Amino acid sequence: MDYYCLRCKKIVELTTNYQGIRCPYCGYRALKKERPEVVVKKVKAE
Ligand SMILES: [Zn+2]
């Protein structure tokens, strides 16, 4: 699961070894889960 920093808007990949949720770029401690790309393909099977 990828997160993005609410401050610098950079994508932060959190690993299992990651200690605490913090942006490695700016040090901001508010990361938000990246919105999953909802790919809705409506294919008309006609
Ligand atoms: Zn940041």
Structurally, at CATH architecture level, domain 1-46 sits in: Single Sheet (2.20)
Q: Domain locations in the chain?
A: 1-46
Q: How far apart are CA 37 and CA 34, in angstroms?
A: 9
Triad 42, 45, 46: Cα angle to 5°: 135
CA of 4 to the centre of ligand 1 (A): 8
What is the distance, to the nearest Å, from the Cα of residue 19 to the centroid of all Cα atoms in its chain?
17
Q: Cα(first)–Cα(last) distance of the chain, in Å? A: 36
**Model-level pTM greater than 0.75?**
no
Q: Which tens digit of pLDDT belongs to each residue from 4-30? A: 889 999 988 876 555 667 888 999 988
CB within 5 A of ion ligand 1: which residues?
5, 7-8, 23, 25-26, 28
3-state secondary structure of 13: strand
pLDDT tens, position by position, 28-44:
988 888 776 666 777 78
| Contact between residue 11 and residue 26 where contact means Cβ atoms under 8 Å apart | no
